């Protein structure tokens, strides 16, 4: 479905009219869960995940057969401040690797039967250096939001949104700090492996940006200190809500993007779960602010949607048990 917005204000209007969970499906899923051949609560969090998934799919006995992974790639003008251990051309090189099936996210998507697509977002035109000017114009951020929105397949039944972009941990840190408060040092980390001097430059860049821009509005914060790939993730998560497609959030960068929706509209992330806890230090704090408990903690810090893609298997297992198990009556087992 093509995005039905062309300004930030019209995007805000769409968010205000967001789809709500199907309470009848939740009730039906709870009832079914109570009849399955297991002691109450024996499958722990898998039971909660299946019921949550059922509510968003509007089906008390759902299936999960068509997961989708979308990767958004963008370049950042703030790289001019020496905030990354890698040059900006690596973004385009990794996009080519995605397209040829050579990245970790390709293997994870294939493992769990997910359709994967990658969107290179004006890589030859990096965002402005947000230490001197807003990262994007309104037209640029709206275009990026539309790209994310339009990337979501309405026929999919689960979404993972990933990213690639040299310098984007700096943008994510600036965005998280703008949205959730604290000091720049609370949110900046080593990303792909910057040394102490690089970390100091990242922290200084974030602090300078937040002194320069008015980021009191979440979407303006995205425009001023975010990036195209972060905006793409925001648009994709919002579109998934419209289609009743549950979302697994990836690591620090993806979760920073999701925080825009969290601050923009109450309950805007109710259709999402956190796939994993990233090794990027501020991710734990970010998840706590959003009230999300990660499904996995494997020390991942790759990005690309890799942690969230790995968690697809957890959600598939939850749904398979919920919908595939026999009830006590069906199995002829005494329920005590």
CATH number, domain containing residue 194: 3.40.50.10210
Contacts 24+ apart (CB under 8 A), 181-186: 183/207, 184/210, 186/282, 186/285
pLDDT of residue 336: 66
Q: State the catalytic residue, choosing from 140, 220, 280, 304.
A: 304
- Is 321 a member of any domain? no
- Is 11 a member of any domain? no
Are 280 and 202 a contacting pair, CB within 8 Å? Answer: no
- Is 81 a member of any domain? yes
- Is 295 a member of any domain? yes
Q: For the whole prediction, is pTM greater than 0.95?
A: yes
Separation of alpha carbons 307 and 37, rounded Å: 31
- Is 42 a member of any domain? no
Strands (DSSP E) found in the chain = 67-73, 115-120, 158-164, 247-249, 272-274
pLDDT of residue 192: 80
Nearest to 221 by CA among 182, 183, 263: 263
By residue range, what is the domain housing residue 99? 65-315
- Is 36 a member of any domain? no
- Is 105 a member of any domain? yes
pLDDT of residue 3: 86
- Is 21 a member of any domain? no
| Residue ranges in the chain whose pLDDT is less than 50 | none
Q: Is 229 a catalytic residue?
A: no
Exposure string for 235-251, b = 16+ CB within 10 A, e = fewer: bbbbbbbbbbbbbbbbb
Count structural domains, the chain: 1
């Amino acid at each position: 479905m093509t995005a039905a917005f062309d300004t930030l204000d019209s995007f805000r209007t769409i968010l205000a009219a967001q789809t709500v969970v199907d309470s009848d499906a939740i009730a039906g899923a709870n009832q079914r869960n109570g009849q399955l051949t297991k002691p109450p609560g024996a499958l722990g969090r898998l039971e909660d995940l299946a019921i949550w998934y059922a509510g968003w799919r509007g089906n008390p006995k759902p299936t999960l057969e068509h997961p989708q992974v979308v990767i958004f790639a963008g370049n950042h003008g703030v790289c001019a401040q020496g905030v990354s251990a890698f040059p900006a051309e690596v973004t385009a090189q990794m996009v080519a690797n995605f397209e040829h099936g050579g990245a970790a996210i390709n293997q994870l998507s294939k493992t769990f039967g997910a359709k994967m697509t990658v969107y290179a977002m004006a890589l030859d035109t990096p965002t402005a250096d947000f230490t001197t000017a807003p990262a994007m114009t309104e037209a640029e951020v709206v275009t990026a939001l539309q790209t994310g929105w339009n990337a979501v397949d309405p026929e999919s039944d689960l979404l993972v949104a990933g990213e690639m972009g040299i310098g984007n941990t700096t943008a994510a840190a600036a965005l998280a700090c703008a949205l959730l408060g604290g000091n720049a040092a609370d949110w900046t980390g080593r990303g792909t492996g910057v040394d102490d001097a690089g970390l100091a430059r990242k922290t200084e860049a974030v602090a300078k940006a937040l002194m320069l821009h008015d980021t009191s509005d979440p979407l303006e914060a995205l425009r001023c200190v975010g990036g195209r790939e972060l905006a793409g993730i925001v648009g994709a998560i919002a579109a998934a809500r419209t289609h009743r497609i549950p979302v697994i959030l990836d690591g620090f960068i993806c979760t920073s993007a999701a925080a825009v929706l969290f601050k923009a509209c109450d309950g805007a992330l109710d259709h999402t779960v956190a796939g994993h806890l990233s090794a990027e230090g501020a991710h734990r704090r970010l998840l706590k602010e959003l009230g999300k408990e990660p499904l996995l903690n494997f020390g991942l810090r790759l990005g690309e949607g890799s942690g969230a893609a790995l968690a697809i298997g957890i959600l598939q297992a939850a749904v398979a048990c919920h919908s595939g198990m026999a009830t006590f009556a069906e199995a002829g087992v005494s329920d005590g």
